[in-house]
Amino acid sequence: MSKYLILAFSAILLVGCKATIYTQKEKNVEYQVSEANVASTLQYLASDELQGRDTGSKGIEKAANYLESILKKSNIKPFFTTYKDTLSNYENAYNVVGFIEGTDSKLKNEFVVLGAHYDHIGITANGFEGDYINNGANDNASGTTVLTEVAKYLGTLQNNKRSVLIVFFSAEEKGLHGSKHLAKKLKDKDVNIYSMLNFEMIGVPMNYNFKLFLTGFEKSNMALKLNEYAGSNLIGMSKGAEKYNLFAASDNYPFYEEFKIPAHTLSAFDFSNFNYYHHPKDEFEVMDIKFMTTISQEMLPVVSKMINANTYEIKMN
Ligand SMILES: [Zn+2]
């Protein structure tokens, strides 16, 4: 989550592995989200080896290579000539963009963009107990990890009617540059985007009667539709998120700006439930793997139903 954008709205409030296997069956193809897989992806992305994934660093390059290899293994092609799409608006940075072509002759011309930023703020002078690496486990190795699970699932099934872009954004922490670059590039190519869904800070559960909130809740019917697809009260509205206008603080926003389509962020962080925002203690050890696994599992049919809806079910209010 980008501090620059949130600070405009708020004085930051500093408040606050087991091996269950879940199975998702569809069309006789099976994909399993396991706590072991979730933990291993998250642990690597948030490891000291990656040095906090600062844009332009060697650490973020390792993260990009790792994400690229996940797309390849999942039979997801690059959308551009290579998986790494160099930013036009920020130095030494690239998004990693995968593409799964739709199977329906008409609907494949409509795109669903699924995103998560994989950069973080790197090494900073503000250390904590001698630790200067901001590992960004929650922000946003967690959302990135959930998106890798969704990608593996869609890549395994290959039965999405609409076309899908899986996007790992860079330079989010510097001011949403990765998403600004891609939204503009897709607009220039006249790509028809149905919806954009972004995953951000999903590593620690909240104390509400829903598991995730959707930013800009009332701008479209997306939350209501996704709950309908989930068959449960999975997604709610966070008053904190609305108050701090988190809708404008993550990579969904440039897609809303360019296309005026339903473009939102799903998150479990609204400054009420995690004390280590942009802090060296935002580490793997304080993440809730079970929660992240449950979220990944529950999102699979939800995302699938959004991608495969026969009509424009999700629209602006
Ligand atoms: Zn952040």
The 10s digit of each residue's pLDDT in 144-181 is 999 999 999 999 999 999 999 999 999 999 999 999 99
Determine if the pTM surpasses 0.85.
yes
In a domain, 313, yes or no: no
Cα 109 to ligand 1 centre (Å): 33
Average confidence (pLDDT) over 245-253: 97
Q: 309 C-alpha to center of ligand 1: Å?
A: 33
| Inside any domain, residue 103 | yes
Residue 70 located in a structural domain: yes
Amino acid 8: pLDDT: 53
8 Å CB contact between 288 and 204:
yes
What is the Å distance from ligand 1's center to 61 Cα? Answer: 18
Question: How far does the centroid of ligand 1 lie from the alpha carbon of residue 312, in Å?
Answer: 32
**DSSP-assigned beta bridge partners for residue 192:** 110
Q: What pLDDT, in 10s, does the model give residues 22-69? A: 555 555 567 889 999 999 999 999 999 999 999 999 999 999 999 999
Burial of residue 199, with CB atoms counted within 10 A of its CB: 0-12 exposed, 13-18 middle, 19 or more buried: buried
Ligand 1 center to residue 286 CA distance, Å? 16
The reply to whether 45 falls in a domain is yes
> How many whole angstroms from 14 Cα to the centroid of ligand 1?
14
CA of 99 to the centre of ligand 1 (A): 26
pLDDT tens digits, 97-151: 999 999 999 999 999 999 999 999 999 998 999 999 999 999 999 999 999 999 9
- Above 50 in pLDDT, residue 17? no
pLDDT per residue as tens digits for the range 82-92: 999 999 999 99
Q: Is the pLDDT of residue 20 over 50?
A: no
Tell me, in angstroms, the distance from the centre of ligand 1 to residue 92's CA.
19
Contact 121, 157 (CB under 8 A): no
- Total number of domains in the chain: 1
pLDDT at residue number 13: 40
What's the domain range around 72? 3-8+25-306
**What is the distance in A from the centroid of ligand 1 to the CA of 228?**
30
Q: Report how far ligand 1's centroid is from the alpha carbon of 161 (Å).
A: 33
Q: What whole-number percentage of the chain has pLDDT above 70?
A: 92
* Residue 135 within a domain: yes
Residue 312 lies in a domain: no
Backbone angles phi, psi at 263, to 5 degrees: -140, 110
Amino acid at 62: K
Mean pLDDT score, 189-195 = 98
How far apart CA 269 and CA 238 sit, in angstroms, is 9
> Between the CA of residue 106 and those of 7, 109, 133, 138, what are the distances in Å?
43, 6, 48, 38
Q: How close is the Cα of 38 to the center of ligand 1, in Å? A: 20
Query: For residue 257, how far is its CA from the centre of ligand 1 (angstroms)?
Result: 21
What pLDDT is recorded for position 2? 81
How far, in Å, CA of 30 to CA of 15, rounded?
41
CA of 117 to the centre of ligand 1 (A): 9
Q: Does any domain span residue 262?
A: yes
CA 266 to ligand 1 center in whole angstroms: 14
- With respect to residue 116, please indicate whether it lies within any of the assigned structural domains: yes
CATH number of residue 53's parent domain: 3.40.630.10
C-alpha 173 – ligand 1 centre gap (Å): 6
pLDDT digits (tens, 9 = 90+) for 194-248: 999 999 999 999 999 999 999 999 999 999 999 999 999 999 999 999 999 999 9
Distance 77 CA to ligand 1 centre (A): 28
Residues 234 and 168 sit within 8 Å (Cβ to Cβ) = no
Angle formed by the axes of helices 35-45 and 143-157, nearest 10°: 130
pLDDT of residue 273: 93
